[in-house]
Homo-oligomer: A and B are copies of this chain.
Amino acid sequence: MPVSQRERTVSWRDGRIRLIDQTRLPQEVVWLEIADEATLAEAIRRLQVRGAPAIGAAAAFGLALAANASPATTLEALRADLAAAAARLRVTRPTAVNLFWAIDRVLAVEASTVAELRAAVLAEAERIAQEDIAACQAIGRYGAALLPAAASILTHCNAGALATVDYGTALGVVRAGWEQGKVRHVFVDETRPLLQGARLTAWELAADGIPLTLITDSMAGYFFQCGAIDAVVVGADRIAANGDVANKIGTYTLAVLAREHGIPFYVAAPTSTIDLNTPSGAAIPIEERDPNEVTTIAGQRVAPAGVPAANPAFDVTPARYLSAIITETGVLRPPFPAGLAEAVARARRKDQT
């Protein structure tokens, strides 16, 4: 579906946040209308909204909800209520830096009256959402240019329209490549434990008519061996200053396999995902989720009762495995540190103009 025909994953409508409930897909398309910031925090925790850029935009709108709900009559009191709401949103998920980036950006807006601040918070959230769409489209253009003709792409998890406000990062590259006739096929890792590939990426690609094959995460190596994969394109939850990338658990394995087979490995992410304050991947906090996500599938227990399971939600791919990082400011090649710093500076300058 072209952007114009697809409703945004996250939007603001009549004083509420409108979100597609990603836990119900693909069985049901359910839209949530979220009226308070506590409900939003729970929606982020439960992954009803997920994907680093989408979480960032949702949290920004969450501050707009908090600003509207605040009974404050002084700027100071409203700033205090916003700070409290921000604190509650910050603790929902630890790894994706876009959450913290968006909150900080909204909290930094200037205003001289309470009414102005309320308006400025919502305007900044809207700007973050708009910019995310533009960033994804730019990422798509830059990324598609890297692809060979008739490319067969492997992707992991969902870095699509559902993970962003619209269009997607990794799937932005796939979409742009498909529109240009450069993408022939997409291999979609199902992405255990929560099956974002099987449930969400397969749903997005099927809706757009892009040919795909769903595979279990364990099959990627086989298809590399078969020569069936021309490039790997994934999203990111946080990119450290040295280029190390935190992304959905299993991403690192794909990077190792890609290098083993001489296949390019691309990370597609907006500059809001770059965290210059995190020197390397070792400093990125990895969210450990409920082991029941591993021991049960679709509500059914698969492992014997009492068996312990681990559930790290992300892993870190060291920068040395990356062929390039595709941002809305252009394509970064190794060595990454200078390029990442410059991309962030360029994005900030553009933001201020």
Contact = CB atoms under 8 A, between A and B. Distances in A.
A303 B202 contact: yes
Contact of A304 (B203, B219, B260): B203
Contacts of A250: 216-219, 221
Interface string A212-235: 111111111111010000000000
Contacts of A217: 192, 216-218, 250
B216 A249 contact: yes
Q: Is chain A's binding surface mostly helix, strand, loop or mixed?
A: mixed
A203 B303 CA distance: 8
A219 B249 contact: yes
Nearest to A255: B221
Contacts of A308: 212-214
A315 interface: yes
A310 interface: yes
A190 interface: yes
Interface stretch (A11-19, A90-98, A290-298): A290-298
Interface in A143-202: 189-193, 195, 198-199, 202
Nearest to A309: B214
Nearest to A295: B214
A304 B249 contact: no
A307 B206 contact: yes
Given A213-B310, A294-B190, A300-B300, A249 B206 contact: no
A10 B299 CA distance: 32
A310 B191 contact: no
A312 interface: yes
A214 B294 contact: yes
B253 A257 contact: yes
25 contacts: A190-B192, A190-B302, A192-B218, A198-B295, A198-B303, A199-B303, A202-B303, A206-B307, A212-B308, A213-B308, A214-B294, A214-B295, A214-B309, A217-B218, A218-B253, A219-B310, A222-B249, A222-B312, A223-B310, A225-B316, A253-B257, A256-B256, A297-B297, A297-B300, A297-B302
